[in-house]
Amino acid sequence: MTTTSCMRSKSRDLAARLTGVALVMAAAWAAPARAQYAAPAAGGAEAVFPDKTVVSLEVARNEPERSRGLMYRTSMPERAGMIFLFERPGVYPFWMKNTLIPLDMFWTDTAGKVVWIAESVPPCQADPCPEYPPKAFASYVIETHGGFAKRHGVKVGDVVTLRKLPK
């Protein structure tokens, strides 16, 4: 093999390796992680519903966290959920884009009074995904496992005690 053909062969090998690495990295970046339930931090936020059921909450306090929400979760325990904190009261519609499990959504004021509920909201099947707007201003939205409101008798006007929310 001549020096020139040896260099071409090494160049092709290097190009093939780099292409392979690039493809693996692109696939990892492009494919969303199929996340399982991520347990809230010990001693984290909790919601105590009127029937005394305590739900451990992950906290979404900024726009990137609120945008991601519970996307890509394939499961979630009955007594787990997420709370979305907003800086000021408003009408905050939610949707189920890339959400794989049905959810109940509870819009509350800062005192925990439930001002609106969307029950057993199904995962979005096709774009554009429908939005689920509340019919009242809220400061927080709590998402739980689908069917939670019915199983625990939660209704508009009930008060959910919110504990250990970040300041």
- Per-residue pLDDT of the chain in tens (167 residues, 90 and over written 9): 554 444 444 444 544 443 443 333 333 333 344 445 555 555 689 999 999 999 999 999 999 999 999 999 999 999 999 999 999 999 999 999 999 999 999 999 999 999 999 999 999 999 999 999 999 999 999 999 999 999 999 999 999 999 999 98
What is the pLDDT of the chain when averaged over all its residues? 83
Q: Can you give the pLDDT at residue 124?
A: 95
* CATH homologous superfamily of 46-163: Protein of unknown function DUF192 (2.60.120.1140)
Q: Can you give the pLDDT at residue 154?
A: 98
Distance between CA atoms of residues 112 and 55, nearest Å: 14
Q: Can you give the pLDDT at residue 22?
A: 37
Residue where the block lists tokens 């900024």: 62
Q: Can you give the pLDDT at residue 40?
A: 58
Q: Can you give the pLDDT at residue 158?
A: 98
Among the listed residues 100, 66, 4, 150, the one whose alpha carbon sits nearest the alpha carbon of residue 12? 4
DSSP 76-101: --TTEEEEEEEEEEE---EE-TT--S
What tokens were used for 165? Answer: 């929310």
Q: Can you give the pLDDT at residue 167?
A: 82
Task: Tell me the pTM.
Answer: 0.77
- CA 152 from centroid of its chain's CA atoms: 22
